[in-house]
Amino acid sequence: MVKVTFARINCISKGMTSVQRIGALLLCMVFCSISGHLSAQDIGENLPFDNSHQAAVNGIDIHYRLWMPEDTEIQGKILLVHGFAGSTYSWRHNARVLQNEGYVVVAVDAPPFGFSEKIKNINYVDDELEKLFWTLLDKLDTDHHLEDWQWDLAGHSMGACLVMRMIDSKQENIRSAVIVDGLVSFRLSKLEEWVFELFPVQVLVELYAKNFLFRQNYIEKVLDVAYGEAPSPSDVHNYLKPLREKMFVPAVLSKLTHARSNRLLDISTMEIPVLVVWGEKDKWLPLALGEKIQEKLPHARLAIVKGAAHCPMESDPVAFNRELTEFLKDPKQNVSPFIVKE
């Protein structure tokens, strides 16, 4: 059985030890801030976008955005899942294109990120979020009479972990999937989980986030690496805005301390067609990882966005949208690798 885990796939080209991985995961806290507070009630009273919605699912208030086709018949329905510290904003260049193609588009802020509720000591691991997401999608199917279509799922970075678990649990409900510079599974070692459970480590992370991280120039540098180019002031603002919540750091630490409970996946048994899209110059998750995932999946093809970094759907939306929409027209087309951007 082929088990593709965070430890085996994310580090295939790096040879990182557990100590190095702990350091890398601590650096992920660059997306953690405890300055300011935005409660679930505040969000409900002042939703951030004109198509924002909020739903209480399994005891957590979930923020999602919905785009319904306006001038065309429904062709399908697609769920967009962002990566670590992302939000529905990550899909700003893609959702309306899909809407215009006739798709019902749902972008969800996966807790504890975006404008969804953040609660300390809640189990935010992907195995639990997968159940939460299916509950939300079932509700949307009923509310908008969408039962006649199967779901297409797209996940970026760590959001791909959630997408793969959704496939594993309800493959019959899914038509196709898209992995964008993503992991297929995320689990910590016992040592890593133990480190994040230590109270002194949690205090240090919160203090470091409060006093050193989330300065505008630092986030600009982070996004510069993610995009492969300088971000706009609007990009910096919109990535910072949903992260400035008091409970963000404790909620993310809770996610990490439960991560070992994620089940292992055998992606070689997934029968649906998968488009694997990868930035050629991704410095965080190298192209070799995308090639490895494409090889392990039975029905997958690899699209390499030439010159792009970790977020091709944001930095190279024309090329990304062209290949995404073509794939969705006939997901069972051939699986030959191809390059999508000159």
Helix (H) or strand (E) holding 154: strand 151-156
Q: Is residue 1 domain-resident?
A: no
- Closest C-alpha to 195, from 66, 25, 70: 25
For 279-301, what is each residue's pLDDT tens digit? 999 999 999 999 999 999 999 99
What region, left, alpha or beta, does residue 298 occupy, with left being phi > 0 and alpha being psi -120 to 50 degrees? alpha
Three-point CA angle 260, 258, 296, nearest 5°:
40
Highest mean pLDDT among 18-27, 144-153, 189-198, 261-270: 144-153
Q: Is residue 75 domain-resident?
A: yes
DSSP assignment of 52-103, as one string?
A: EEEEEETTEEEEEEEE--SSS---EEEEEE--TT--GGGGTTTHHHHHHTTE
Amino acid 335: pLDDT: 52
The residue ranking higher by pLDDT, 188 or 59, is: 59
For 222-240, what is each residue's pLDDT tens digit? 999 999 999 999 999 999 8
Euclidean distance between the first and final Cα of the chain, in Å?
A: 38
Q: Is residue 271 domain-resident?
A: yes
Give pairs for 321-327: CB < 8 Å, separation 24+. 321/93, 321/94, 321/97, 321/98, 323/275, 323/277, 324/94, 324/98, 324/154, 324/178, 324/275, 324/277, 325/97, 325/98, 325/101, 327/176, 327/178, 327/275
Neighbour-count burial of 5, counting CB atoms closer than 10 A to its CB (0-12 exposed, 13-18 middle, 19+ buried): middle
Amino acid 117: pLDDT: 87
Q: Torsion over CA of 224, 226, 231 and 234, rounded to 10 degrees? A: -140
Helix (H) or strand (E) holding 328: helix 317-329
Tokens of 69: 């086709």
Cα Rg of the chain (Å, integer): 19
Tell how far CA 45 is from the center of its chain: 26
Q: Using CA atoms, how far apart are residues 225 and 332, in angstroms rounded to an integer? A: 34
Number of domains in the chain: 1
How many other CB atoms are there within 10 angstroms of residue 191's CB atom? 12
Q: Is residue 54 domain-resident?
A: yes
Q: 3-state class of 49 per DSSP?
A: coil
For 172-184, what is each residue's pLDDT tens digit? 999 999 999 998 8
* Longest distance between any two alpha carbons in the chain, whole Å: 56
Q: Using CA atoms, how far apart are residues 271 and 228, in angstroms rounded to an integer? A: 33
Q: For the chain, give the percent of residues with pLDDT over 90.
A: 56
Only one residue has tokens 């009630």, namely: 41
Tokens of 82: 């962002």
Enumerate residues 6+ apart whose C-beta is below 8 A from 86: 113, 114, 156, 157, 159, 239
Q: Is residue 41 domain-resident?
A: yes
Mean pLDDT of 58-72: 94
Mean pLDDT of 124-152: 92
Please state which of the ranges 40-49, 97-106, 129-138 shows the lowest mean pLDDT: 40-49
Sign for the pseudo-dihedral over CA of 234, 237, 243, 246: negative
Name the band, by pLDDT with cuts 50, 70 and 90, for residue 274: very high
> What pTM value is reported for the model?
0.82
Query: φ and ψ at 258, to 5 degrees?
Result: -105, 0
Q: Is residue 303 domain-resident?
A: yes
CATH number, position 142: 3.40.50.1820
Mean pLDDT of 20-30: 47
Amino acid 201: pLDDT: 63
Q: Which domain holds residue 238?
A: 6-339
- Closest C-alpha to 112, from 100, 103, 121, 102: 121
Name the band, by pLDDT with cuts 50, 70 and 90, for residue 202: low
Mean pLDDT of 65-77: 95
